[in-house]
Amino acid sequence: MKPPATRVLVIGYVWPEPRSSAAGGHMMQILETFLTQGWDITFSSPAALGEHKADLVALGIAECAIELNNSSFDDFVRELTPDIVLFDRFMMEEQFGWRVEKHCPNALRVLETSDLQSLRDARHQRLKEHLKVEPDSDDFTALFAPALTEEFQRMADTDLAKREIAAIYRCDISLMISDVEIRLLTEQFKVPAALLHWCPLMLTPPSEAFASFEERAHFLSIGNFRHAPNWDAVLWMKNSLWPRIRQQLPGAQLHIYGAYTPPKATALHNPAQGFHVMNWAEDALRVMSAARICLAPLRFGAGIKGKLADAMLCGTPNVTTPIGAEAMGDEQPWPGAIAADADALAAAAVALYQDHDRWTKAQEHGRHLLARRYAQQIHGPALIECLQQCRSRLTAHRRDNFTGSMLRHHAHKSTQYMAQWIEAKNRNG
């Protein structure tokens, strides 16, 4: 008799939008990996439906809206009896973790971190401090090369880091998209390596020929405008980087695409300067394949960058910062250029744009990097093996994680009482 399919419940911070953000794309890669195992998947979220939400039902994934601070979730999860519960970002573990533990204590609890938000926030604060002292600065060499000890010192006293890392301890496994962040957690925060699994973007390297140098034109930048690092990059391009490129390439154009374009972004649209704000791209890979260079001048951030993975998938060399390239490459040549100041970024972008041989080599570097580091055929099975091994020794795994048990005991009790108080308050008007 065939054993029942593994039941997976995903609790999403938002409904996945793979064409709007790297986080949405990564979630879809995880779901598709689960589907290859024949697992029975339910995706739930307390968020409103997004404009570009993926059609999960068409993939055979059940959808269910849930509410915050409402005991209706208890009935829902008790009836579903999942074998695995995946929390999409630590806020969902904070909200629903104690309910899952109470009603489905034997379910494997997995956290999809997307990136370390506390690291991203600490870097944002450091950038603000730098610009406050040097408002006209365009050289961020020192800012982009902090030691892990410095990152730890900036994060350690923040409430956000304490909340995020507590959630990592409370879960059985946390999926980390960046191996740099794994090093930060294990070396500086002393998180046990057994609680972390490296799960980068899982991609299928292209087999077909890329569009050639001659078939392409213009520069492209892409990213969800709701993501603060992307908006900061747009402003830096507008004020510093693009004028430098345009001075050397007077006929060049920059096309900026992004989901949820706000009025403050459309106000920057200026065709006379070759600065085009194009709103959302329905097919991001198509517009990426038509561009000659992808610009990603990120001054802060965390995780890894979906836009740069898309550029490699399309054979589009990129120009980025050390923050943009962090955790994305290895010791082999980068598929484009990395620089830490506006002059160097502009010079690299102009050189790549004009030099056929340099551009073609960068394109091939991207193809090889995808195959070495992001192959779905490697990371998909590794993810399944990790989850299955953890399930097979769950009691011992949790016993070894005494800090997590302690945090669950204290934090979940206080969260439970607060949630019940909010629910009673809402019920009584």
Kindly give the confidence (pLDDT) of every residue in the chain, 429 residues in length, as a single tens digit, with 9 standing for 90 and above: 667 889 999 999 999 998 878 888 999 999 999 999 999 999 999 999 887 899 999 999 999 999 998 999 999 999 999 999 999 999 999 999 999 999 999 999 999 998 999 999 999 999 999 999 999 899 999 888 778 899 999 999 999 999 999 999 999 999 999 999 999 999 999 999 999 999 999 998 888 899 999 999 999 999 989 899 999 999 999 999 999 999 999 999 999 999 889 999 999 999 999 999 998 888 899 999 999 999 999 999 999 999 999 999 999 999 999 999 999 998 889 999 999 999 999 999 999 999 999 999 999 999 999 999 999 999 999 999 999 999 999 999 999 999 999 998 776 666 666 666 566 666 665
d(CA 154, CA 118): 9
Q: Which helix (H) or strand (E) holds 390?
A: helix 376-392
- The pLDDT of residue 340: 96
The CATH number assigned to the domain with range 219-373 reads 3.40.50.2000
What tokens appear for 191 in the block? 């998180």
- The pLDDT of residue 418: 60
Contacts of 312 (CB under 8 A, 6+ apart): 318, 335, 366, 367, 369, 370
Q: What pTM did the predictor assign? A: 0.92
- The pLDDT of residue 158: 96
The CATH number assigned to the domain with range 7-118+147-202+376-427 reads 3.40.50.2000
Alpha helices in 237-339, H assignment, sequence order? 242-248, 263-266, 284-290, 306-313, 322-325
What tokens appear for 237 in the block? 């391009």
Are 7-118+147-202+376-427 and 219-373 in the same CATH fold? yes
d(CA 192, CA 290): 45
Q: Which helix (H) or strand (E) holds 139?
A: none
- The pLDDT of residue 272: 96
What tokens appear for 371 in the block? 């195959």
How open is the CA angle 408-413-415, to the nearest 5 degrees?
95
- The pLDDT of residue 47: 94
- Compute how many other C-beta atoms are within 10 angstroms of the C-beta atom of residue 189: 15
d(CA 143, CA 301): 12
Instruction: Please classify residue 142 by burial: count the beta carbons closer than 10 Å to its beta carbon, then call 0-12 exposed, 13-18 middle and 19+ buried.
Output: exposed
Residue spans of the domains in the chain: they are 7-118+147-202+376-427, 219-373
Indicate the residue type of 34: F
